[in-house]
Amino acid sequence: MTEVIQQIVNGVSLGATYALLALGLAMVLNILGLVNFAHGELVTVSAYGMYGAHELGLPFLAMVLVGILAAIIVALIMDQVAFRPLRGATFATLLFASFAVGIVIQNVLRAGVSPRQEALPFPEVFNQVFTIGGVTIGWLQVITLAVTVGALLMLTLFLKRSTYGLGMLASSEDFQAARLVGVRANRVIALAFAISGFLAALATISIVARRGTIDPGMGFQPVIAALIGTVIGGLGSLTGAVAGGFVLGGLEIFFTATLPDELQKYTVAFTMALVIVILYFRPRGLLTASEEER
Amino acid sequence: MRSAVKSSATAALMVAVPLFLLAIIAVTTFGNADQRVVLSFFVTVSLALSIQAFSGTTGIMSFGHVAFMGVGAYVAAALMVPAAVLSTFAPGIPSFVADQELPLVLVLPVAFVIAGLIAGLVGLVMARMEGEAMAMATVSLLLIFVTLFSGLDSITGGAQGVYAIPEVTTIWIGLGVAVLFVFGSQLFARSRIGIQLRASRSSALAAESLGVNLRRQRWIAWTLAGAMIGLAGAVWAGYSLAFSPNAFGFDLTFSLLSAIVVGGLYSVTGTVVGAATLTVLFEVMRRVEDSTGVVGLTQITVAVVILLILYRYPTGLLGLKELPEAITRRRRAR
């Protein structure tokens, strides 16, 4: 029983990281119709920001702050430089533009910092565990979950209470209609990119804590997770993206915990097969309204 | 139908002549390394055309077809690597297959059929999905196959991969397959099924309401593309000589899709133009990178140029047009 609880905690914590990633991807996707493959590079940039701060000898919280700022700034530059000239382009064009942007960022880091893996040690607390009623829980899991819940609450408040937030929420429901009632397009898009950078940076904390290292290609796994999470939850739904992230994390931990040893190497295959099953039966995602209601 | 054959042949010829000249120049004047570049370009064209046969006609991006290229490459390895070597890294292959050392001419149709069968089976599920869901499911599909390629180590050599494939793919084979694919893809795009699928690109609902059996036609395009890329994968194996499961990942998928999108997603000859553009750019920049020692310069430049092309030509260099038309149009505009 205690092992089950432990695995649930693991699943929820991994899911929380995926939820942050998927939500960031969905913010931009809903407003701009862009599946931003360079979203993974926001994670990478944030990690390199933290690495830079660490090399300068800054304390951990300053590292995190630098990481967040780096991701937000790069997300904004991405929008201004790369995607603004492509407003209204097709899905495929936007997708490949974002892919190209990702390659540029990866190689700038490769050329400018180092093509190799670098160690980025985190404070000890991330490796420590505590025990409650026989259940051993890692602080990493607790921190991840706390950061995610905090970020989601903040974002919800911002979206529901502030003028900008409402404008964004409206835009993510129906961008054209929102523009007609006076929401400023480029400002909302920039805001969406900034938020997606912020969320990616928060996810980076747990990603780097788990890996302990950084490298220029580290954004790939996160962006795939974000993409799959968004898809499971239903393209076009912000709550769906969060739920999809948690479902994906849960599935991954479930298969790792239950598959017999000789099948462990197929964990990814089982998870992805189930994703296809979900897409097959619920093409609009798990949370979205059914055909008739639309 | 006859006019479709004729116009497909015209387009294939327009591509075949310059490619043929390129091959002759390569064989007579190029050194070994540069000949390999030309061959690699021909193979890239065949691989990209296979994906285009599905994505170009249906308008649905497939990130998954490189999985079937992998199937073709592994089939080629099983049939061409000498049995004694094969048993050292893939002992699980039954001896009646492993003992074969077939020539490439016989391997290609086998790769075509087996990759087609597997693509057809997978397609039974994939082709029933809605467009967006299907595109996303292909991402999962590729991850599944890459995991299987390294997991089924007794027949694939696992993460270590496959080696000792005989060097059988010549420039002429590469050229022949590429030209054949240009012709075949054009013919498919102009066939009844191709026309129905192209009509469904702008509105699936409208096409279905006019009696298009979309699921069936999409399944056919999916399977054909899978069989084509399986054959191209065998050609690829015959010149790469050794490979591991990572070869069939997102890196290759994206470089092939980039060629397609840069050339014009909906244009068969556009794919050739896109692949040529990216290959030339890549080779030039690689030399600049080698002489200047700036790591990553090639990748950065190629990516920036892709961006610039997409800014200027959002639907790709040729847009919706095929080569003959794209050129005559320009002339008229002058």
Write out chain A's pLDDT in tens, 294 residues.
778 888 898 899 999 999 999 999 999 988 888 889 999 999 999 999 999 999 999 999 999 999 999 999 999 999 999 898 888 788 888 888 898 999 999 999 998 888 899 999 898 888 888 888 888 888 999 999 999 999 999 998 998 888 888 888 888 778 888 888 888 888 889 999 999 999 999 999 999 999 999 999 999 999 999 988 988 887 778 888 999 999 999 998 998 888 888 888 888 898 899 889 888 888 777 766 444 333
- With vertex at residue A248, the alpha carbon angle to CA A245 and CA A253, rounded to the nearest 5 degrees, is 125
Please choose, from the candidates B185, B180, B24, B154, the residue with its C-alpha nearest in 3D space to the C-alpha of residue B90.
B154
Tell me the pLDDT tens digit for each residue of B110-135.
999 999 999 999 999 998 888 778 88
Mutate to test the interface with B, among A29, A36, A39, A107 (most CBs of B within 10 A): A107
The DSSP bridge partners found for residue A136 are: A131
Report H helices in A125-266.
139-161, 163-173, 175-180, 185-211, 220-233, 238-258
Sign of the Cα torsion A100, A105, A108, A114 reads negative
- Cβ contacts of residue A60 below 8 Å, gap of 6+? A122, A123
Q: What is the pLDDT of residue B315?
A: 84
- Cβ contacts of residue B94 below 8 Å, gap of 6+? none
Chain B CB within 8 Å of residue A2 CB: no
A86: which chain B residues are within 8 Å (Cβ-Cβ)?
310-311, 314
More confident position, B102 or A197: A197
A113 to chain B: closest CA residue? B295
Give the C-alpha separation, B14 to B8, whole Å.
Answer: 10
Chain A CB within 8 Å of residue B24 CB: no
CB atoms within 10 A of CB B234: 32
- Smallest Cβ–Cβ distance between A265 and the set B132, B151, B250 belongs to B151
Asked whether the beta carbons of B229 and B75 are under 8 A apart, the reply is no
Flag if A275 and B129 touch (Cβ within 8 Å): no
Please report where in the chains the tokens 């160690």 appear, as a residue: A119
- Smallest Cβ–Cβ distance between A231 and the set B136, B250, B307 belongs to B136
State pTM to two decimals: 0.88
Q: What is the pLDDT of residue B276?
A: 94
Question: For A174, phi and psi rounded to 5 degrees?
Answer: -155, 100
Q: What is the pLDDT of residue B331?
A: 53
Chain A CB within 8 Å of residue B152 CB: no
Q: Could you give the maximum distance between any two Cα atoms of chain A, in Å?
A: 59
Tokens linked to A23: 């939500």
- Angstroms from B193 CA to nearest CA on chain A: 23
Tokens linked to B282: 């890549």
Please choose, from the candidates B203, B292, B245, B312, the residue with its C-alpha nearest in 3D space to the C-alpha of residue B74.
B245
Q: What is the pLDDT of residue A39?
A: 96
B141 to chain A: closest CA residue? A272
Would you say residue B290 has pLDDT above 70? yes
State ipTM: 0.84
Mean pLDDT calculated for residue range B269-297: 90
Tell me the pLDDT tens digit for each residue of B213-224.
889 999 999 999
Flag if A90 and B144 touch (Cβ within 8 Å): no
- Smallest Cβ–Cβ distance between A86 and the set B130, B265, B310 belongs to B310
- Smallest Cβ–Cβ distance between A96 and the set B148, B296, B306 belongs to B306
Tell me the pLDDT tens digit for each residue of B1-54.
678 888 888 888 888 899 999 999 999 999 888 999 999 999 999 999 999 999
Would you say residue B204 has pLDDT above 70? yes
Q: What is the pLDDT of residue A223?
A: 93
Flag if B129 and A280 touch (Cβ within 8 Å): yes
Chain A CB within 8 Å of residue B143 CB: yes
Flag if B261 and A92 touch (Cβ within 8 Å): yes
- With vertex at residue B171, the alpha carbon angle to CA B169 and CA B172, rounded to the nearest 5 degrees, is 95
Q: What is the pLDDT of residue A111?
A: 87
Q: What is the pLDDT of residue B330?
A: 56
Mutate to test the interface with B, among A276, A280, A281, A286 (most CBs of B within 10 A): A276
Chain B CB within 8 Å of residue A164 CB: no
- How far, CA to CA in Å, does B99 sit from each of A6, B107, B114, B167, B276? 51, 14, 18, 18, 39
Q: What is the pLDDT of residue B9?
A: 86
Chain A CB within 8 Å of residue B125 CB: yes
Lowest-confidence pick of A66-70, B96-100, B192-196, B311-315: B96-100
Mean pLDDT calculated for residue range B88-108: 87
R_g over Cα of chain A: 19
- Angstroms from A261 CA to nearest CA on chain B: 13
Would you say residue B164 has pLDDT above 60? yes
Q: What is the pLDDT of residue B225?
A: 97
- Angstroms from A234 CA to nearest CA on chain B: 9
Tell me the pLDDT tens digit for each residue of B256-281.
999 999 998 889 999 999 999 999 99
- Smallest Cβ–Cβ distance between B307 and the set A100, A275, A284 belongs to A100
Mutate to test the interface with B, among A99, A237, A256 (most CBs of B within 10 A): A99
What percentage of chain B carries pLDDT values higher than 90? 56
Q: What is the pLDDT of residue A181?
A: 83
Please choose, from the candidates B56, B318, B320, B15, the residue with its C-alpha nearest in 3D space to the C-alpha of residue B189.
B56
Q: What is the pLDDT of residue B199?
A: 85
Asked whether the beta carbons of B316 and A96 are under 8 A apart, the reply is no
* DSSP 8-state symbol, A162: S
A233: which chain B residues are within 8 Å (Cβ-Cβ)?
none
- Cβ contacts of residue B306 below 8 Å, gap of 6+? A96, A97, A100, B258, B262, B278
Pairing of strands A135-138, A129-132: antiparallel
